[in-house]
Amino acid sequence: MTHTSLPARTLAQKLIAQAAGMAHVEPGEIVNCKVDLAMFHDSSGPRRLKPMLESLGASIWDKSKVVLVMDHYVPEQDDDSRRIVRIARDWAREQQLPHVYDSIGICHVVLPQKGHIRPGMFCVGGDSHSPTGGAFGAYMFGIGSTEMLGVMVTGELWVRVPQTLRMAWKNRLAPGVMAKDMMLHMIGQFGMNGGQYQAVEFCGTAVQALSMQERMTLSNMSAEMGAQAGLIAPDAITHDWLQAAGVAMPADAADASYWQTDAQAPCTTYDFDAATLAPQVAAPHSPSNTHPVQALANTRVDVAYIGACTGAKLDDLRAAALVLKGQRVAHGVRLMVAPASLQDMQAAQTEGIMDVLRQAGADVLPTSCGACSGYGGSIPDGANVIATTARNFKGRMGSSTAQVYLASPYTVAASALRGSISDPRELLA
């Protein structure tokens, strides 16, 4: 790959240009891109794609580039979920899809853990939190069923080259503060449409200091800013994580000097100081209704939920265990823990983390989307819930009368211990 005599470009421009087979693309330009990977799950995929493909008499362009994950309606608890999951399983067998992951975790976490994402890729997903892939230096975003049908048949998709908003975080996060707090703070500042159809890129020393799983939280929740993609330039941490996941890194993908936004590239930069950030909490019923934790201190908590692709990865479980070790949750509080993947749960078990959580009084739930997508009926009506999920829209977690607050695993664990929204830094001091 040669990259000589080109104007300064953003990471988004470089990724889209490669997918379009062009030397250079400009923001606002509409180009046709070849898709490297298409992911969908039991809810967004076969039950919608199967009849449309059959009506066209069409077949899948490249089955090796398709990943199907069963995570929304598992484990099946009623006739409707059994029907949806059966359609997905039957279709996967019928199509002989080579990459099917059934009930082992949430798609956005399973996908990189199974080695499907690497820098330089152009990927789509049948889920709004598909920008998670951007943490690995891939251009990945969510699309609807009709667009996914087009991808399934042609392996291509047009895209309008986005403007880039760079979120530059200096210094490092203090103990008890996480990537989730960074995201809630940014969503509170910019609103849910602040990055609409744009590429949000996270950078700076604070981002570079984050683990891959923490970076995944940033990219994932770029969706809550309305962004198309949430990008982080790959570096040694990316490379090491992917190698551990068994990903063979091609020479150009490992070229960290290339998959970066150039110094003079056309973008808007916003500056933040990670060292001064307090734990954040989003009050009902929007992720943008965000406040420092002290502003909501002493709000009663009935349910504490540590789950979802934004809040139950191994790093998240470790954070919760750090607060809960040797303690018991407050009387009357139900603590629920739904690890994001089987791999993360097994690692947490090996480290003794799952024992800490259980001894603190946690109910351990299956590794699936669960209550985050309103499935399972585990959130009681009228309850005050503090959750590590990405969204707190009215009825999102099932009950339309529940009041859902969003926070980091540290803050959720601290609030479960005290029975009210609490600053985890007080317990970690």
The 10s digit of each residue's pLDDT in 294-330 is 999 999 999 999 998 899 999 999 999 999 999 999 9
Domain contains 259? no
Does 6 reside within a domain? no
- 243 with 344, same domain: the answer is no
Say yes or no: 199 and 334 in one domain. Answer: no
Question: Are 232 and 348 part of one and the same domain?
Answer: no
DSSP assignment of 54-80 equals HHHT---S-GGGEEEEE-SS-S--SHH
Q: Which two tokens stand for residue 124?
A: 């789509």
Instruction: Give the residue, 398 or 279, on which the prediction is more confident.
Output: 279
Residues 51 and 143 in one domain: yes
Biggest alpha carbon–alpha carbon distance for the chain: 66
The tally of domains found in the chain comes to 2
Q: How confident is the prediction for the chain on average, in pLDDT?
A: 92
For residue 384, the surrounding DSSP H or E stretch is strand 384-387
Q: Which two tokens stand for residue 287?
A: 């992720």
Hey, what are 425's tokens?
């830094």
- The residue type of 231 is L
- In angstroms, rounded to a whole number, what is the distance separating the alpha carbons of residues 129 and 125? 8
The reported pLDDT for the residue numbered 194 is 77
Q: Is residue 74 domain-shared with residue 197, that is, in the same domain?
A: yes
So what's the pLDDT on residue 402?
86
Work out the pLDDT band at 400, boundaries 50, 70, 90: confident
pLDDT mean over 415-429: 96
**Pick from 363, 357, 369, 361: nearest CA to 397:** 369
Task: Provide mean pLDDT across the span 66-72.
Answer: 92
pLDDT in tens, 253-291: 446 678 999 999 999 999 999 999 999 999 998 999 999
- The model's confidence at residue 150, banded by pLDDT at 50, 70 and 90, is very high
Angstrom distance (rounded) from CA 137 to CA 122: 10
Enclosing domain of residue 332: 281-428
Same domain as 168, residue 300 = no
Are both 226 and 304 inside the same structural domain? Answer: no
**Taking residues 363-379, what's their average pLDDT?**
75
CATH of the domain at 314: 3.30.499.10
Co-location of 298 and 407 in the same domain: yes
> Is 217 in the same domain as 92?
yes
Contacting residues for 195 by C-beta, under 8 A, at least 6 apart: 165, 222, 225, 226, 227
One domain for residues 315 and 422: yes
Same domain, 22 and 122: yes
